[in-house]
Amino acid sequence: MHKTLHITTYGCQMNVYDTQRIEEMLTVLGYVLSTKMDADIAIFNTCQIREKAEEKLFSDLGRVRLLKEQRKESGKQMTIVVAGCSAQALGGHILKRAPYVDLVVGPQTYDKLPELLAKIERARISGVGPGQGILGIGFPKISKFDKLNVPRGFHGVSAMLSIQEGCNKFCTYCVVPYTRGAEYSRPLEDILKEAQNLLKQGAKELTLLGQNVNAYSSQSPKGNTVTFSELLYRCAELEGLFRLRYMTSHPREMTQSLIQAHKEIPQLMPFLHLPVQSGSNRVLQEMNRQYTILEYETILENLREARPDIAFSSDFIVGHPGESEEDFEQTCQLAARVGYSQAYSFMYSARPGTPSALKSQLPFEIKQHRLYRLQEILHKSQLAFNISKQGTCLPVLLEKKGKKTGQLLGKTPYMQSVYVQASPELIGSIQWVEIQQGYNNSLAGSLKNRACYSLNNTVQ
Ligand code: 5AD
Ligand code: SF4
């Protein structure tokens, strides 16, 4: 009998990618994916970026504990694994607080999962052996997935591809450099191989992923440095690639050559997620972001010059220690000035072990009130952007079936979701869609019955 596997994923795209790779690795070994948490193996791929994600983990662990006990009563076993960033940050603390967890494994050691699961299994059968949860949270030099060598199975239209991990930036509020470790860039050849493989299996769009994706820098076998913009040009040469995206970028790494790539690479979509975090130079300095608002806005200006229709998205943190009313006001003004097409905004959450957590904290009510105020501006700006597309024709990559019958869901070059009546055979193609309505989070349009073959996806 095959063992069943369920993974609960919290947090960012990097975790979603890791979950996919863990699923691939374990299904190759005969595990069968289950939609229910009540499985032979329940993995929690965790996030540590804000306190809320950590709280959610422990409440979910409480639930799975009951399932494990129920299974035991009917003579069945369950292996509970905590993986991801909280595993890395909290380590043995998880085993102490939730002793029914069998394995805690950090984001850099997933390649060891089969071995560790087998160890737990052997111990259960023989009755000899760890007796308590196992901890696997090292920082090996080679990226976990480069060691795996499992060809990726992929079904879909838009694929994620991890090219870089970790972060050396040490923003004072952020736990990532501690949970994901130092920056590591995968070799170019491995990335191109994985990309080709994904395209062969039907992917039309690739999103290159990394915590600090545009800090990508690897060595070729001949010892030359491969920069991020070079990698983009190489990806753009791949046959069958219609659309190319990347996230998440740091403003410090937006080089001239990368901005030029936005002008020259037709497959590179006119949408960029470039987190600013705050509109106040004083707070940016406190956060160790290493740029000023003038520098940030100059980058946006240069990108707009390179690709006039480019749309921007950002992350914001409100209520960082020391943020005054005036600092916050500057954030609101920046948000209104830029006119983001999308944005994520968060209340600052003190993370143990980070420098900002040691500072005097703002009251929750102030942070909450500021978040509401900023979100009002951001929501308005997003709606205005969506409405501005009404009456235009956009090339839409049709990705999957929508909720209503006969409906497909696709994406514009600007990452807007579009609902359109269309036949399922069109999934995977780019079609011209006339936009009828712009809503808060999506667009509605109708098919122009004319496929879009133009690679640069420009409006016709
Ligand atoms: N509190 C709130 N938000 C945070 N982020 C990172 N660390 C924190 C924190 N301690 C946000 C940043 C980052 C996004 C992924 O999460 O905006 O860009
Ligand atoms: Fe965190 Fe800053 Fe690194 Fe982004 S750049 S992962 S916010 S430390």
Question: With a 6 A CB cut-off, is 348 part of the ligand 1 pocket?
Answer: yes
Please choose from 14, 170, 316 the residue to mutate so as to test ligand 2's pocket, defined by most ligand atoms within 8 A of CB.
170
Q: How far apart are the first and last CA of the chain?
A: 55
DSSP 431: E
Residues 6+ apart with CB under 8 A from 51: 349, 350, 351
Helix 256-264 vs helix 293-306: crossing angle, to nearest 10: 30
Ligand 1 atom 14: residue of nearest CA? 315
User: Ligand 1 center to residue 113 CA distance, Å?
Assistant: 28
DSSP 417: E
Q: Give the H or E element holding residue 411.
A: strand 407-411
**Using 50, 70 and 90 to split pLDDT, how confident is the model at 142?**
low
Q: Tell me the pTM.
A: 0.93
Cis peptide before 255 (omega within 30 of 0): no
Q: Which long-range contacts (CB under 8 A, 24 or more apart) does 256-260 make?
A: 256/302, 257/227, 257/229, 258/214, 258/228, 258/229, 258/232, 259/299, 259/302, 259/303, 259/306, 260/229, 260/306
Please report which ligand is nearest the Cα atom of 173: 1
Burial of 304 (0-12, 13-18, 19+ CB in 10 A): middle
| Cα distance between residue 401 and residue 206, in whole Å | 20
Residues 6+ apart with CB under 8 A from 224: none
User: Ligand 2 center to residue 114 CA distance, Å?
Assistant: 31
| Phi–psi pair at 334, nearest 5 degrees | -60, -45
Q: Quick: pLDDT tens for 358-405.
A: 999 999 999 999 999 999 999 999 999 999 999 999 999 999 999 999
Q: Does domain 393-451 have CATH number 2.160.10.10?
A: no
- Among 137-141, 233-237, 323-327, 354-358, the minimum mean pLDDT is found in 137-141
**393 marked among binding-site residues:** no
Nearest atom (ligand 1) to Cα of 354? 10
Burial of 114 (0-12, 13-18, 19+ CB in 10 A): middle
Q: Quick: pLDDT tens for 200-256.
A: 999 999 999 999 999 999 999 999 999 999 999 999 999 999 999 999 999 999 999
% of the chain with per-residue pLDDT over 90: 86
Question: With a 6 A CB cut-off, is 419 part of the ligand 1 pocket?
Answer: no
Question: With a 6 A CB cut-off, is 47 part of the ligand 1 pocket?
Answer: no
User: Ligand 2 center to residue 211 CA distance, Å?
Assistant: 7
| Cα distance between residue 445 and residue 432, in whole Å | 10
User: Ligand 1 center to residue 88 CA distance, Å?
Assistant: 17
pLDDT above 60 (res 11): yes
Q: Does domain 4-136 have CATH number 3.40.50.1000?
A: no
Question: With a 6 A CB cut-off, is 343 part of the ligand 2 pocket?
Answer: no
Q: What does the CA dihedral 123, 128, 131, 135 come to, rounded to 10 degrees?
A: -60
Number of neighbours of residue 165 by Cβ within 10 angstroms: 26
Q: Quick: pLDDT tens for 422-453.
A: 999 999 999 999 999 999 999 999 998 766 65
| Architecture of the CATH domain 144-387 | Alpha-Beta Horseshoe (3.80)
**452 marked among binding-site residues:** no
User: Ligand 1 center to residue 189 CA distance, Å?
Assistant: 32
DSSP 213: G
Q: Is the dihedral angle over the CA atoms 12, 15, 21, 22 positive or is it negative? A: negative
| Residue matched to tokens 């007796």 | 131
Per-residue pLDDT, 460 = 39
Please report which ligand is nearest the Cα atom of 351: 1
User: Ligand 1 center to residue 348 CA distance, Å?
Assistant: 7
Domain ranges of the chain: 4-136, 144-387, 393-451
**47 marked among binding-site residues:** yes
Query: Do 31 and 64 contact (CB within 8 A), yes or no?
Result: no
